[in-house]
Amino acid sequence: MNEAEDQAKQAASIIAQYWREGRKSGDLPIAVRPQTLAQGYQVQVQLPAIMGDTVVGYKLAATAEAGQRHVGVDAPIVGQLLATRVVDDGATLAMQGNRMLVAECEIVFKLAKDLPPRDFEYSREEVMAAVASLHPALEIPDSRFEDFASAGAAQLAADNACTHWLVLGAASSAQWRDVDLAEHATCLHINGDVVSRGSGADVLGDPRTALTWLANQFAILDQGLRAGQIVTTGCTGQPTPIANGDLITADLGEFGTVSAQV
């Protein structure tokens, strides 16, 4: 193991410890603190092994201006979805240590085919041809940093792009491929009240564009995307404050709903 790999592993161990304990940290120690996005992702890739978990897909964070303002960045960040942090519709979510305390309505794609790295970019048509299904999802993000809005993109990448919980709904039975996903309306309910409205256009202009952008991030996805993995494309509408006991529902209209209690 070279010095850079050792520093990345040390940083990941610190983040993993705080995640397990539900505690928050200031900036990572300067000796192991990533200074670039690439270094941040080097830390991130160490997390699954350290936490004894497996990667089942990816999340896109900050694909909308509202999300970028929320975490203090100016471009999307990629995170890994860990198996123990993806739960089914109707779950009750433990929120120990979560200080972001927001919910996000999201559109998820599940892949039927691999999209391996290659020498030229995938087109949107190629990427969508590899998709098996579309799902409604509810994300409850969090950061291991006390002041996540000033941590910076490199540390947030190391922090797995603020991943905490993803509640995944059933595959939509609607003919979603025939719909303009950019124009498709979504809304978030808390305790039966609509608290945020959005559309597919909130995520890089179109969730299909967001998925294609991710598929072409070869520097981040050294093994590409794989069949069976899921990708959640980012927050539609606004990240919305939640409180203990709330019943939260992400509503994608004809594409389905998904709920969880915190």
With respect to residue 174, please indicate whether it lies within any of the assigned structural domains. yes
Alpha-carbon gap, residue 227 to 112, rounded angstroms: 5
Task: State in Å, rounded, how far the first CA of the chain is from the last one.
Answer: 41
> What are 167's two structure tokens?
């509640």
pLDDT digits (tens, 9 = 90+) for 217-257: 988 888 899 999 999 999 999 999 999 999 999 999 999 99
pLDDT digits (tens, 9 = 90+) for 35-84: 999 999 999 999 999 999 999 999 999 887 777 777 777 788 999 999 99
* 96: region left, alpha or beta (phi > 0 left; psi from -120 to 50 alpha): beta
As a whole-number percent, the residues of the chain with pLDDT over 90 amount to 87
Q: How many domains does the chain have?
A: 1
Question: What is the pLDDT of the chain when averaged over all its residues?
Answer: 94
Q: Which domain holds residue 76?
A: 54-261
pLDDT digits (tens, 9 = 90+) for 119-151: 999 999 999 999 999 999 999 999 999 999 889
With respect to residue 175, please indicate whether it lies within any of the assigned structural domains. yes
As a whole-number percent, the residues of the chain with pLDDT over 70 amount to 100
pLDDT for residue 1: 65
With respect to residue 42, please indicate whether it lies within any of the assigned structural domains. no
From the CB of residue 170, how many other CB atoms can be counted at a distance below 10 Å?
Answer: 13
- Which residue is listed with tokens 């304990």? 21
List the CATH number of the domain containing 184. 3.90.850.10
With respect to residue 41, please indicate whether it lies within any of the assigned structural domains. no
